[in-house]
Amino acid sequence: MKAPLAVLLALATVLVAAPARAQLNSATASASISATVVSAISITKTTDLNFARLVAGGTSGTVVLSTAGARSATGGTTLASSSGTAAASFTVSGDPSATYTITLPASATINGPSSSTMTVNTFNSNPSSTGTLSGGGTQTLLVGATLQVGANQTAGAYSGSFDVTVAYN
């Protein structure tokens, strides 16, 4: 009777000790989880791009409008009244001190009388290609461009639109 009892006691000792030995061969660690939600970036137009008045000549030319609102003419184009001349202006808003990329169009078409069109290209911005939002989370973005004026371009009012895209870096 003593032998079976001794075997049972030995077996019970092994079974109780086995889980303890298994725990000695494993380890557990914890890691923190975090996330930060920032304000979505947005852009709002405050001023339209306006090349103002010009005279088309017998040869093609351009009107270059800087981001500061200064304009100049080349070729057969002559500048007329500058009333209303303006670089486009946008307010970019989002996470304070964040940087963002600026994407400008390659070109845009403006439409005038009798199905006449002109091309606007060489868009440029200030800041150029990348901006940084202020501590208050905003920045003014200015856009200039070049207007391609055809020889003897049809007189009249021309209009169109263009898109500016901003995205967080």
Q: What average pLDDT does the chain have?
A: 92
- Residue 150 in any domain: the answer is yes
Confidence class for position 12, pLDDT limits 50, 70, 90: low
**How far is residue 105 from each of residues 84, 108, 109, 161, measured CA to CA in Å?**
23, 7, 11, 11
- Residue 137 in any domain: the answer is yes
pTM for the model: 0.82
Q: How far is Cα 129 from Cα 120, in angstroms, rounded to an integer?
A: 19
118 strand-pairing partners: 110
Judged against a pLDDT cut of 70, whether residue 19 lies above it is answered with: no
- Residue 18 in any domain: the answer is no
- Residue 105 in any domain: the answer is yes
Q: What's the confidence (pLDDT) of residue 58?
A: 97
Looking at the structure of the chain, the number of domains it has is 1
- Residue 20 in any domain: the answer is no
**Domain holding 54: CATH number?**
2.60.40
- Residue 52 in any domain: the answer is yes
Q: How far is Cα 4 from Cα 7, in angstroms, rounded to an integer?
A: 5
Q: What's the confidence (pLDDT) of residue 24?
A: 78
26-65 burial, b at 16+ Cβ within 10 Å, e below that, comes to eeeeeeeeeeeeeeebebeeeeebbbbebebbeebbbbbb
Judged against a pLDDT cut of 60, whether residue 106 lies above it is answered with: yes
Q: Are 102 and 127 in contact (CB under 8 A)?
A: yes
- Residue 101 in any domain: the answer is yes
Quote the domain boundaries for residue 156: 42-168
- Residue 1 in any domain: the answer is no
Query: If you average pLDDT over residues 65-90, what whole number do you get?
Result: 97
